[in-house]
Amino acid sequence: MEEIIIRKRHEARRRTLTVADVIRLTPAMIRLELQGDMEGFESLAPDDHIKLIFETDGEKPVMREYTPRAFDVAAGKLTLDFALHDAGPATDWAIHAKVGDTLSIGGPRGSSVIAPAFDWWLLIGDETALPAIGRRIEEAGAGTRIIVLGAILSEDDRQEFKAVADLTTHWVVRPEEQADDPAPVLEALKALDLPVGRGFVWIAAEAGVARALRGHMRDERGHPAELIKAAGYWVKGKADTSDKALE
């Protein structure tokens, strides 16, 4: 049987990095450039996650998962993008971060690498998924056909990606109170004419939205389930909760 997703394990290591730059990418996205010892850091898939570790007055630190947007081990650099869609500890830290502040991270513990055996890619996601989407686009080789369907809060939240891939981008603008409503993105997805050939569909959004989008691609479009990877990066009304399996 063809192995479409190859899982790789990494040695987990905790490290402390220093904020070197703070960039307001869009009204709803902050980018932090971090500097420090990156020796041994491995991230083989654009949707990998690291743990951000925040010390508290309690017995255990608070941890949140974020995508490594970009990294350079030799230069000791790590880029993280923070979507400002909630008021959790990571978002609050990013909003107030300044050059010289430190951040402890751990991982990634592993990578799920999708075999590069497709004629096209469809990447669908909300603000929380844009770091993984952007990284996949920018790591794709010339000639790779990628269609993006991104959900954002305003026209000003559109992002430009440095792509050599054959990229087509569609944006759905909807207010924050509709971030857990599948309808706006589902309507846009239904209107898309997808290329012929073998395609891989990657979806990440609020869990209910991601589930509805996966269902449309699998049940209405007839796209093979094994060629869809869908994840709930967050769950409406539940802090620090995700639904990566979406069963």
Which pLDDT tens digit goes with each residue over 75-90?
Answer: 999 999 999 976 689 9
- Indicate if 72 and 13 belong to the same structural domain: yes
For the entire predicted model, the pTM comes to 0.94
CATH number, position 102? 2.40.30.10
Q: How far apart are CA 122 and CA 61, in angstroms?
A: 37
Confidence grade of residue 238 (pLDDT, cut at 50, 70, 90): low
- Indicate if 98 and 120 belong to the same structural domain: no
Q: How far apart are CA 160 and CA 90, in angstroms?
A: 24
- Indicate if 130 and 94 belong to the same structural domain: no
Question: Which of 72, 92, 110 finishes a domain?
Answer: 110
Confidence grade of residue 3 (pLDDT, cut at 50, 70, 90): confident
Instruction: Determine contact, residues 164/137, Cβ cutoff 8 Å.
Output: no
Residue 237's pLDDT is 60
Q: Which domain holds residue 25?
A: 5-110
**3-state class (DSSP) for residue 215:** helix
**Number of H-type helices and E-type strands within the chain:** 4, 14
Extract the tokens encoding 126.
């909300």
Which amino acid is it at 102? T
Number of domains in the chain: 2
243 domain residue, yes or no: no
143 domain residue, yes or no: yes
* More confident call, 12 vs 119: 119
Burial class from Cβ neighbours inside 10 Å (0-12, 13-18, 19+) for residue 18 reads middle
Which pLDDT tens digit goes with each residue over 199-215?
Answer: 999 999 999 999 999 99
Residue 57's pLDDT is 80
239 domain residue, yes or no: no
Q: Does an H or E element contain 213, and which?
A: helix 207-215
Which pLDDT tens digit goes with each residue over 111-160?
Answer: 999 998 999 999 999 999 999 999 999 999 999 999 999 999 999 999 99
φ/ψ region of 121 (left if φ > 0, alpha if ψ in -120 to 50, else beta) reads beta
